[in-house]
Amino acid sequence: MSDIPTGHIIRLYRIDRKKNTTSLATHAGITVRYLEMIEAGTKTPTLHVLRRLAKVLGVRTSALIGEAPSEDYEGPVNSRLASIERALFTYDSVPLETSVNQPEDLVDRIEVAGHAWFTSPNAYTDVIAVLPGLIVETEQLVRESGRSPESCKLAYSLYRLTRGVMKHAGRIDLCPMIADRTMRYAEETEDPLTLAAASWTLGQTILSDDMPHGALDVSMMGLERLEQFLPDATPEHFSIYGGLVQCAAIASTRIGDPWQARDLLRDKAMPAANRIGEGRNHHNIFFGPTNVSIHAVGVELEAGDVSEAVRLSDNVDIHKIESMERRCAHLYHVIKAYECKGNDTAVFVHLKMAERFRPGDFRYKRDVRAMVSTLVRRAKPSYASEVREFAGKIGLID
């Protein structure tokens, strides 16, 4: 289902649930005409509308954008994801030629993989290839060291990276298990900062699994643990604290309280970001004024205020942050906002920007490919051939 348009998937679920357009539209709080345009592919639903439709249809939101785990075994690209899955489940049975006796080497390799994931244009190719081996070696180091705090912290770092990779590569089904391992290893370090950062990972995972109330609870508990350290906090403290605030803000929006989300970003996240400035990446949590502004755009988009999302996005300079993943996350927000406004020219411009920063997203991320697929159908004759050429470049059409 990865390249089936979202509107068509909604229609298939509606028919399967034996609902007519009037019933689905009424219960989702939208007009019948709007639903018909969504199913026809001439309108793109906001995230807020998509979640309401998913709730009425009795499916997870991810199902409406075609995220079907079983497809990850098809083709040469997705077979590499299967190698990571095998490593996650069978690391104990994979023999190594020698014992793992150089943890410093593993530390360096995990740090290199993490840096590549956030900054390399070839992030998927570079990182997915090395993750299986890193998982096996790290787990065996934990076992040989008797689960020492140092080896557990190394495993915690690796699984935080692995969760992000698998989420973006479409294996959301594996993320809860990976987040649980992250939390368990963090607990064994007995380090409050490590545990707080693991709470951020868990909160992000729960958000991806359409459980915003749980994500809000986890984030707020993590914030409570850190607030006692804030008077003498280091940039590391503030980075984790800010990441938890941002997670809580998105969760608040998804439970229908965007005003709490705005207050969290304005009163807690931005002051912390201004204290430490740009360029912080503690525990792979990119935090600073620009990333708070990116989350502010995301909150308005989640809340359905598309015009405000576009207005705020005009003041975001994504070149202030090193992370290609964060840059593209913002661009995808902007693209979705312009889709809702019917500005396909702006959609195309921002898609091409994102593809230059992180071309792997256009092979792995189903929602990104769906954006291009929608544009192919909607593009005006004056630039339709250029859009089709772009779609061919990413392997979406022949």
The pLDDT tens digits of the residues spanning 263-277 come to 999 999 999 999 999
The pLDDT tens digits of the residues spanning 319-356 come to 999 899 999 999 999 999 998 888 999 999 999 999 99
Give the domain 191-322 fold. Answer: 1.25.40
Print the SS3 string covering the chain. Answer: CCCCCHHHHHHHHHHHCCCCHHHHHHHHCCCHHHHHHHHHCCCCCCHHHHHHHHHHHCCCHHHHHCCCHHHHHCHHHHHHHHHHHHHHHHHHHCCCCCCCCCHHHHHHHHHHHHHHHHHCCCHHHHHHCCHHHHHHHHHHHHHHCCCCHHHHHHHHHHHHHHHHHHHHCCCHHHHHHHHHHHHHHHHHHCCHHHHHHHHHHHHHHHHHCCCHHHHHHHHHHHHHHHHCCHHHCCHHHHHHHHHHHHHHHHHHHHCCCHHHHHHHHHHHHHHHHHHHCCCEEECCEEECHHHHHHHHHHHHHHHCCHHHHHHHHCCCCHHHCCCHHHHHHHHHHHHHHHHHHCCHHHHHHHHHHHHHHCCCHHHHCHHHHHHHHHHHHHCCCCCHHHHHHHHHHCCCCC
CA distance linking residue 116 with residue 131, whole number of Å:
12
The superfamily CATH assigns to domain 1-66 is: lambda repressor-like DNA-binding domains (1.10.260.40)
How confident is the model over 32-38, as a mean pLDDT?
Answer: 88
Task: For residue 362, count CB atoms less than 10 angstroms from its CB and return exposed for 0-12, middle for 13-18, buried for 19 or more.
Answer: buried
pLDDT band at 315 (very low <50, low <70, confident <90, very high): very high
| Mean of all residue pLDDT scores within the chain | 87
The structural domains of the chain, with segments of one domain joined by +, span 1-66, 69-189, 191-322
| pLDDT of 285 strictly over 70 | yes
Please check whether the two domains, 1-66 and 191-322, share a CATH topology: no
The pLDDT tens digits of the residues spanning 177-208 come to 999 999 999 999 989 999 999 999 999 999 88
Geometric angle at alpha carbon 19, from 13 and 20, rounded to 5°: 115
| pLDDT of 76 strictly over 70 | no
Q: What pLDDT score does 74 carry?
A: 40
